[in-house]
């Protein structure tokens, strides 16, 4: 039996999590598994109920679960709250509280979606990248930070990009381990021509690489990487990078696949893990059954693989997603031609279930 805490959050979060939970139910029935799910609040939904985006009780529940499934946080309703009370602070808070330092964001281009990308089909076809983003350090959490008054009445806003040796070591090690199950290539992305924290990053990653002689390591500056991702994405296997660079590059990588609505993620610590789609809360389409649930369903597939060690079951979910796309079903975020059939969020979930066996 596996205990799953669901945190639907805001915007389209509740819709995609509900559909993914439906898929998990179907998986349980098909493969004779038991998933016990419990739901709790995070982000704006938690602000409305408790006045803050993440309460301790939810952190405790997450710690007791075998895995956490999150939808999305944020929306215009909470945009003007002060920084530490915004929905996003709930997401950052749970990442920190659970020690989820490694964020895995696979960007894989499905054959049936090669035309969905804004890039040429020859460029994106066959792309299969895993972005390994450091998630609990860097400029997101570094101190000092704040907004202060200057003597002349102007203000200064500041954050700190900081990484320690152990922080770099553990994320690098994770990237190398994951590369061993793929094409054994790691590209470490930094800005070591300018930033001291990147100089250390590069040194430590190079050290860790010595323990993985079977994995090929390369280094790239982040500006070049941003360019190479759209110039020749197939050159990448695993990209390992800092929190901020990973945030930006993973959105860019998402667009290779045709839609950010396709990208799943896993945020992992030593023991705990949280799974969430890379897309946000998309308030403009919330509550209209238009959202693409595939990123969340694929996040569940990652949960089955990484948290429950159910590799075959995970693959069957991934295959069902592949099949549904091959069969021509598309949500509105995916480009489509006359041969495709547009479906809503719930229907997409049902079609995936139909293909799980
Ligand atoms: C992401 C998001 C978050 C981040 C926001 C919502 C805090 O953009 O998961 O990529 O910046 O990490
Ligand atoms: Mg982001």
* Share above pLDDT 90 across residues of the chain, in percent, rounded to a whole number: 96
Global model pTM greater than 0.85: yes
Residue pointed to by tokens 């279930």: 353
Tell me: do 122 and 250 sit in the same domain.
Answer: yes
Is residue 356 a contact partner of residue 30, using CB atoms and an 8 Å limit? yes
- Asked whether residue 180 is domain-assigned, the answer is yes
118: three-class secondary structure by DSSP: coil
pLDDT confidence of residue 339? 84
142 and 240 share a domain?
Answer: yes
The answer to whether the bond into 312 is cis (omega within 30° of 0) is no
Asked if 123 and 251 sit in the same domain, the reply is yes
pLDDT of residue 178: 97
For ligand 1, atom 5, the nearest C-alpha belongs to 88
252-260 average pLDDT score: 91
Query: Does residue 49 belong to any structural domain of this protein?
Result: yes
**Does ligand 1 come within 6 angstroms of the Cβ of 91?**
yes
- The owner of tokens 């493969």 is 31
- In this predicted structure, the answer to whether residue 336 has a pLDDT above a threshold of 90 is no
Q: Residue 356 Cα, ligand 2 centroid: separation in angstroms? A: 30
- Domain end (from 234, 257, 280): 257
**Confidence band of 338 (pLDDT split at 50, 70, 90):** confident
291 is in an annotated binding site: yes
Per-residue confidence (pLDDT) for residue 209, from 0 to 100: 98
Distance CA 203, CA 333 (A): 41
Q: Which residue from 53, 95, 247, 275 has its CB within 8 A of the most atoms of ligand 1, so it is best to mutate?
A: 247
Tokens 């020690």 correspond to what residue?
99
Task: Starting at the earlier edge strand, list the strands of the sheet with 67-72.
Answer: 35-39, 2-9, 67-72, 273-277, 264-268, 102-108, 128-134, 238-241, 185-190, 216-221
pLDDT of residue 337: 77
pLDDT attached to residue 335: 73
Q: Rounded CA gap, 72 and 264, in Å?
A: 12
CB of 251 closer than 6 angstroms to any ligand 1 atom: no
Question: Rounded to the nearest whole angstrom, what is the distance from the C-alpha of residue 247 to the centroid of ligand 1?
Answer: 7
Nearest-atom index, ligand 1, CA of 95: 12
pLDDT at 116 over 90: no
Structure tokens at 88: 């996003």
Q: Tell me whether residue 143 is in a domain.
A: yes
Please tell me the predicted confidence (pLDDT) of residue 253: 94
- CA nearest 229: which of 118, 104, 111, 116? 118
Is the same domain home to 252 and 160?
yes
Which residue, 346, 357, 354, is CA-closest to 21? Answer: 346
Determine the pLDDT at residue 204. Answer: 99
- What total of structural domains would you count in the chain? 2
Residue range of the domain that includes 80 = 1-102+260-357
Q: Do residues 186 and 265 share a domain?
A: no
pLDDT at 74 over 90: yes
**Which residue of 75, 88, 267 sits with most ligand 1 atoms within 8 Å of its CB, as the best mutation to test the pocket?**
88
List Cα–Cα distances, 66 to 5, 42, 92, 245, 283, in angstroms: 8, 18, 20, 29, 30
Tell me whether residue 113 is in a domain: no
Average pLDDT of 260-278?
95
Which of 257, 285, 313 is the C-terminal boundary of a domain?
A: 257
C-alpha dist (Å) from residue 261 to 41, 229, 257:
22, 19, 9
Residues 246 and 147 in one domain: yes
Residue 357, pLDDT score = 87
Check if 96 has its Cβ closer than 6 Å to any atom of ligand 1: no
Q: Are residues 170 and 233 in the same domain?
A: yes
Between vectors from CA 157 to CA 152 and to CA 160, what angle results, nearest 5°?
A: 135
Same domain, 131 and 250: yes
Give pLDDT tens digits for 285-335.
999 999 999 999 999 999 999 999 999 999 999 999 999 999 999 999 997
Residue 110 lies in a domain: no
Q: How far apart are CA 213 and CA 8, in angstroms?
A: 42
Both tokens of 155, joined, read 């203000």
- Is the domain of 135 the same as that of 243? yes
> What's the CATH code of the domain at 180?
3.40.718.10
Does residue 109 form part of some domain? no
Place of tokens 């997603």: 321
| pLDDT tens digits along 3-40 | 999 999 999 999 999 999 999 999 999 999 999 999 99
**289 in a labelled binding site:** yes
* Res. 258 pLDDT band, cuts 50 70 90: confident
Protein residue closest via CA to atom 9 of ligand 1: 278
Give the pLDDT mean for 116-141: 96
* Tokens standing for residue 170: 């553990």
Same domain, yes or no: 138 and 253:
yes
Q: Are residues 47 and 76 in the same domain?
A: yes
Catalytic (active-site) positions: 140, 191, 223, 247, 251
Q: What is the structure's pLDDT at 77?
A: 97
Q: Which ranges in the chain belong to alpha helices (H)?
A: 13-31, 44-50, 56-64, 87-97, 121-124, 165-180, 196-209, 222-231, 243-256, 294-306, 311-326, 345-354
Is the beta carbon of 88 within 6 A of some atom in ligand 1?
yes
For residue 50, the model assigns a pLDDT of: 98
Which of 209, 241, 257 is at the close of a domain?
Answer: 257
Q: Based on the domain organization, do 232 and 297 belong to the same domain?
A: no
Q: Which residue has the tokens 């301790």?
A: 56
Taking CA 76 as the corner, what is the angle to CA 73 and CA 79, rounded to the nearest 5 degrees? 80
Residue from 95, 17, 7, 6 nearest 291 by CA: 17
**Mean pLDDT, residues 211-218:** 98
What is the rounded end-to-end Cα distance, in angstroms, of the chain? 20
């Amino acid at each position: 039996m596996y205990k799953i805490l669901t945190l639907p959050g805001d915007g389209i979060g509740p819709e995609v999590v509900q559909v993914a939970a439906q898929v998990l139910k179907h998986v349980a029935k098909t493969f004779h598994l038991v998933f016990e799910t419990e739901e709790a609040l995070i982000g704006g939904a938690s602000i409305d109920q408790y006045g803050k985006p993440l309460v301790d009780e939810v952190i405790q529940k997450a710690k007791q679960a075998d895995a956490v499934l999150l939808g999305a946080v944020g929306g215009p309703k909470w945009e003007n709250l002060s920084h530490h009370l915004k929905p996003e602070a709930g997401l950052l808070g749970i990442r920190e509280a659970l020690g989820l330092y490694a964020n895995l964001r696979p960007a894989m281009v499905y054959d049936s979606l090669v035309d969905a990308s804004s890039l040429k089909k020859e460029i994106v076809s066959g792309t299969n990248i895993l972005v390994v983003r450091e998630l609990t350090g860097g400029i997101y959490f570094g101190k000092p930070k704040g907004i202060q008054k200057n003597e002349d009445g102007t203000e200064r806003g500041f954050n700190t990009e900081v990484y320690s040796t152990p922080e770099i070591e553990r994320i690098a090690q994770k990237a190398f381990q994951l590369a061993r199950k793929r094409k054994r290539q790691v590209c470490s992305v930094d800005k070591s021509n300018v930033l001291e924290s990147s100089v250390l990053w590069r040194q430590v990653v190079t050290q860790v690489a010595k323990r993985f002689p079977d994995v090929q390591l390369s280094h790239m500056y982040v500006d070049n990487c941003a360019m190479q991702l759209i110039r020749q994405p197939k050159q990448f296997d695993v990209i390992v990078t800092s929190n901020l660079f990973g945030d930006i590059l993973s959105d860019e990588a998402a667009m290779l696949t045709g839609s950010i609505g396709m990208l799943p993620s896993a945020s992992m610590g030593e023991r705990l893990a949280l799974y969430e789609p890379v897309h946000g809360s998309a308030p403009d389409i919330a509550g209209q059954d238009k959202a693409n649930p595939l990123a969340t369903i694929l996040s569940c597939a990652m949960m089955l693989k990484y948290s429950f060690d159910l590799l075959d079951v995970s693959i069957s979910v991934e295959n069902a997603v592949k099949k549904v796309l091959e069969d021509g079903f598309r949500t509105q975020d995916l480009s489509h031609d006359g041969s495709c059939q547009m479906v809503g969020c719930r229907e997409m979930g049902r079609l995936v279930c139909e293909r799980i066996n």
